[in-house]
Amino acid sequence: MKKRALILAMIAFITAIASEPAANTVYAEETQTEESAGQASELPVKALTPKAMDVNPYMAASDSNIHHDCYNTDSTDEVLPVDIYSEINVSYEKVNPNASPAVFFDSYGHSVVPLLGGLAIRDINADEAQTLGYFSPKQHDNGSYLIQSSYSFVDESNRIVCPTNDNRVLMLKATDEEGNVLPEFEKVLDIDIKAAAEAALGKTLDQNLLSVVFDYEGNLWFATGGFRIYPDRKQQGTFGYVSRAAIDKILNGEDVDLSDAVFVYELEPGEGAENGIAASKEGAVILTNLKCYLLQADNGVKKVWETSYKSVGAKESKEGDETTGGGLAWGGGCSPSLTKDLVMFTDNQDPVNLIAVDMKTGEQVASAPVIDELPEGTQVSVENSAIVYDDGEGTVSTIVCNWFGAGSAKLGEADNDSSIQSYENIYDVGWLRQGNKMIAPGIERVDTVKTEDGYEMKSIWCRSDLSDTSMMKLSTATGYIYGYV
């Protein structure tokens, strides 16, 4: 019910993933209000099969990060509300200056949200949002750093794993063994990733820590970067991992020599990650501003493949445009999303293309332009990971959304530390003050279908009348995608 109430409070539009009702379509029982109890909703419900993915044993059995899982599917098998405005749950916020930009869940259904530079478990179903437990860098660490909530996640033991803007990775114990929330989270791991990477390379790095994820062997993968990684500025980027054996030793209170536990892959100058990392049984998938990689831990970083893609570079509003911001990324702004067989991401061309890459070989197996049915002059930049739903029977449905206008123009400044994920640093002031009118429209569903001759992509529908300000989500239980305006 925690997720149901949260999402319901955010709904501004609901769109069926199914192109038309099937013969076996059922209609939702309307039970949210006394007046409508027992009545059938006008919106059909066509439940989909649960999403097809291999469960990561080192991640929480829940919607454990802002993309829901380590495949970055942005889909859930939870039942979400059907019908528009059938119920509104409002939780009044008195503490955070902005609404939480990232909400994810532990195995007990607790909502984990940003709170004043740190992270908290909060009751967001109450009339007034209540903090049940939290970790504050300033209060608990006497530190001035911030936790990067967008790329934090919950692990299999309900510990919160989070990167910081001063290049460390923390692990926070948030609940006891019975699932009761600790009023103050306990820090059980603290690793300076950048210092360890620099020691391994024997040189100073230009880029800061951006994102982390556990692979299926429990190794903690990391990537340095930020937003607007301009290749001609020659900033030095890396990715790598901390071994599971070292993490277990630290959690057991043992001393660890990180020089034997941190493995680093050095990128060419001017390359860096601009998005989150995905993971499957095949390894860690990282999209930089120039290439997509599949990496494995093999007593060092093993590059299985790399696949280049094209970009027209950072996109900005032009003089006379209604928007004042631009794109967030220099390359593809879409965190890679996975199926068991494919890696899906967008490039940053004009028009933007959806690309499907073979998971095992890195070969591009299909591509198609997306969100190209818009009014003339409308710019497109896909800045959030796409919804990727694999039905397990040969069809992968991908929903991509335009987010041009959200990015701050200051991201283009050479001295901007674009790895710091704060409202003021990465988002356009016009959008923060005026809402979705400052975001360019465009949402499209594209199906990638496996045939005897390979894969083919086809557009199912495209909406040019909606501007979504969040990351849209799919509920397989209802067959609808959910967005916020």
- Report angle CA 398, 332, 273 to the nearest 5 degrees: 120
- Give the pLDDT score at 11: 37
Q: How many whole angstroms separate alpha carbon 211 and alpha carbon 227?
A: 12
* β strands within 144-275, DSSP E: 153-154, 159-163, 168-175, 181-192, 208-214, 220-225, 238-242, 262-266
Q: How many whole angstroms separate alpha carbon 356 and alpha carbon 367?
A: 6
What is the pairing mode between strands 387-390 and 395-401?
antiparallel
Residue 345 is which amino acid? F
Using an 8 Å Cβ cutoff, are 294 and 283 in contact? yes
- Give the pLDDT score at 411: 87
- 3-class secondary structure, 257: coil
- 3-class secondary structure, 194: helix
Could you tell me which of 444, 454, 408, 402 has the C-alpha nearest to residue 428? 408
Q: How many whole angstroms separate alpha carbon 210 and alpha carbon 417?
A: 11
For 2-483, the fitting CATH number among 1.10.287.950, 3.40.50.720, 3.10.129.10, 2.130.10.10 is: 2.130.10.10
As given in the structure block, the two tokens for residue 292 are 């997509």
- Give the pLDDT score at 44: 82
- 3-class secondary structure, 263: strand
As given in the structure block, the two tokens for residue 173 are 């114990």
- What's the whole-model pTM score? 0.91
- 3-class secondary structure, 286: strand
What residue has token string 């536990």?
Answer: 261
DSSP secondary structure letters along 41-100: EEEEE-PPPPP--PPPTTB-SS--STTSSTT---EE-S----SSSS-----B-SS-SS--
CA distances from 46 to 15, 18, 138, 448, 458 (A): 12, 7, 48, 20, 21
What residue has token string 């199906």?
Answer: 447
Q: How many whole angstroms separate alpha carbon 328 and alpha carbon 29?
A: 41
Q: Which run of H or of E encompasses 350?
A: none
Q: How many whole angstroms separate alpha carbon 57 and alpha carbon 241?
A: 17
- Give the pLDDT score at 456: 97
As given in the structure block, the two tokens for residue 353 are 């293309």
- 3-class secondary structure, 9: helix
- Give the pLDDT score at 23: 39
DSSP secondary structure letters along 97-148: SS--S--EE-TT-PEEEEETTEEEEEE-SSSB-EEEEEE-HHHHH-----B-
Q: How many whole angstroms separate alpha carbon 141 and alpha carbon 148?
A: 16
Q: How many whole angstroms separate alpha carbon 63 and alpha carbon 48?
A: 18
Q: How many whole angstroms separate alpha carbon 452 and alpha carbon 13?
A: 37
Distance, first Cα to last Cα, the chain: 22
- Give the pLDDT score at 444: 97
Tell me the mean pLDDT per 10 residues along the chain, length 485.
37 50 42 42 83 96 94 94 69 73 90 92 88 94 90 97 96 97 97 95 92 98 94 92 98 94 95 96 98 97 98 93 92 95 97 98 98 92 94 95 92 81 83 88 96 96 89 93 85
* Cα torsion angle, 484, 430, 167, 184, sign: negative
- Give the pLDDT score at 477: 93
Residue 142 is which amino acid? N
Q: How many whole angstroms separate alpha carbon 103 and alpha carbon 113?
A: 5
- 3-class secondary structure, 432: helix
As given in the structure block, the two tokens for residue 166 are 């001063």
Largest CA-CA distance found in the chain, in angstroms, rounded:
69
Using an 8 Å Cβ cutoff, are 403 and 383 in contact? yes
- 3-class secondary structure, 200: helix
Question: Which residues, 6+ apart, have CB-to-CB distance to 321 below 8 Å?
Answer: 379
